[in-house]
Structures are given as C-alpha cells and as structure tokens.
A = this chain, B = another copy of it.
C-alpha cells in the first residue's frame, strides 16, 4: 500500500505538489501533473479517504435512511439513489430502520450522530416524536423522498391528486359505490392519508359522499388480500369500484376477488397507485410514479444543497400518470347486488 509520499518521491516532487496534481486543487503545470499521475498509476496509488476526510471534513459518502428495503417502492428509490451516487463517485451508507426495532433506535441514537456522511436522504421515513429532534440535531444537509411537498427539500408525487384522479377514473366509468382500501390507525403514513383525502374529495365533488367507505388494511400485498377476502365476501355491501392506497394492496385485492369468484373488472374495478413491477402481469390500472427518478432527483438536490448550503432548497412535486389497463371497466349495474338496492338516477 503506497501513500502519497511514495508517489511524490517517484515523481520527483513534494507531497504538496503531488496532492495538488491528484486532487486538482491549486496550480500545477500540465507537465508535473502528468508525471505525478503516471507515478500514481505505477504504484496503484489509492488515496486514504480517512486521511483526506480528516482534514477536509468531507466524507464523500451519503447516508440513506429508510424504513425497509423490502417494499418495491423503497427498493426502487434506493437503486435510483445508488446509480446517481455512483456517477458522482460517492459511497452510500444504508440505514434500514424498521419502525419498532431496536436497530431503528440505535440508528437514531448512535449511528446518525457519528455523521459519517456529507448529507442524508430520508425515504418514506415518517419519523416519530423524538426522532425528529435527532434528525434536526444532525446538522447535515438532508432531502426527503415521500412526504409533504410544502416542506423544503421534499420530493414526492402529489398524493392527494393521485387519490383524486384514481377515484375520478372510476366515477367516469359510471361507478358510484367506490371504496378506498389502505391504511390503519396506528400506522398511517403521510402519503396514504393524502391519497384517502383525494378519494374523499373526489367522491364529495361528484355528490357521492354518502357512498364513500374506507377499509383499513396493512399496506402490503398480503394485507390487501386479507382485508379484501373479508369485505368482498359481504355480497350485499360489495362496492363496484375499489381505489387502493398502492399497487401492492390492489394486487392483493385482485387475488382475493379471483379466489371469491368475483370477476375483475366486470364485477369489480380496481385501481392502484405506483405502477409496480407486477402491475402489468395483473393488468392493473394505476397511477404511475417513477421511484427511480425520484431517487436520482434526491441526489441532485442534495448535492446542490451541499455545494451551496446558503441557497434555498426547492421541493419537487411530480404528477402521477394514469395508466389504464384492464382491471377497470364500466360498471355493470344489472349484475351488481349493491346497485340493485339503489334507485337509478
């Protein structure tokens, strides 16, 4: 393992000049630069990042904190972040902090305080009470993916709008009995709450507030499946349209419907949010978001913020794009038990 002194010696210059030639900071003649670079290559020189960080205060490392890596959306964002960081030559330190684990507590109490990163990206974090203080105490540039676009440094889709447009899509197909599925009281996230609000306002605007109904479930495929098996079994109250908090829940609902012999979309239309990698296989109509791009955007915003901490940090609210597949279709009033009990308009 040769150090910069070895490189300097071989190139016949001082350590200082070697450093300047290699980092590109300060004046070096083209000639000496070439000499130094040759020497470095000959010795397979790799700078010690510890030594460099110690004096510059820069780690060339970005921390990413998220509540899981096993959810499709989060994993996609993570890959977008990784790609962008690799392009910039920056390392990625992962803090996978599942709510309620001792690991999460340690991350907030110890790991973040070490500040082994120049900046932090929080993805879908939903910090609880004292975690927020910890985050603020870190005193490092930070960007959030998923969250309230009114907060500075937040990248997300307009969740309220997504919920609204998913609902309007079904209303446009003639549905009135439309339910929303997703979210449970202890575990509400910012985004599913917003999507529910969008659903509610679309229903209200269409004069369908009395038909609005919210079914709680875990925001996972098995969660959506379990809840759907329950409420779809009740034939009398079964809605004809279903707005789902996300695609994983929607796919769970579709699987449940099949198991119960309910045809999608003739008996039940289902719309999700995400454009999950499985959405196509399930022919799922959905409001697509691009998590990978969100991750890459987060990196760009963060690096800009690090480069110029005094500049205001923008937020980015991306629109979701409606992709119509065949899990939604016009309501079939004749064959619907719930419509049979409703007076026609």
> Which residues of A are in contact with B by a Cβ distance under 8 Å?
46, 48-51, 53-54, 59, 61, 68-70, 72, 75-76, 78-79, 82-83, 86-87, 89, 91-96, 98, 101-103, 106-107, 110-111, 113-116, 220-222, 225, 252, 255, 258, 277-278, 280-282
Contacts and interface: CB of A to CB of B under 8 A. Distances in A.
11 contacts: A48-B54, A50-B54, A70-B72, A70-B75, A79-B98, A83-B103, A86-B106, A92-B93, A93-B93, A221-B277, A222-B281
Contact of A69 (B46, B78, B221): B78
Contacts of A282: 255
A278 B221 contact: yes
A35 B46 CA distance: 41
A30 to B, nearest CB: 24
A103 B91 contact: no
Nearest to A103: B86
A70 B76 contact: yes
Given A86-B107, A94-B94, A70 B59 contact: no
Nearest to A280: B222
Kindly report how many copies of this chain are found in the complex they form together: 2
Nearest to A277: B222
A254 to B, nearest CB: 10
B68 A221 contact: no
Contact of A59 (B50, B101, B225): B50
A3 to B, nearest CB: 12
A91 B280 CA distance: 37
A322 to B, nearest CB: 21
A111 B225 CA distance: 42
Contacts of A115: 46
Given A61-B116, A78-B96, A221-B281, 11 more contacts: A48-B54, A50-B51, A69-B79, A86-B111, A89-B110, A92-B95, A92-B96, A93-B93, A221-B277, A252-B281, A258-B258
A68 B89 CA distance: 19
Contacts of A116: 49, 61, 91
Contacts of A225: 281
A102 B87 CA distance: 9
B59 A82 contact: no
For the complex of A and B, list the 4 residue pairs with the smallest distance between their C-beta atoms, beginning with the closest.
A86-B103, A82-B96, A50-B53, A70-B75
Contact of A92 (B94, B252, B280): B94
B70 A82 contact: no
Given A221-B278, A255-B281, A114 B46 contact: yes
A91 B113 CA distance: 12
A16 B53 CA distance: 23
B111 A91 contact: yes
Interface centre among A48, A51, A102, A281, by most B CB within 10 Å?
A281
Nearest to A106: B86
Contacts of A46: 113-115
B91 A91 contact: no
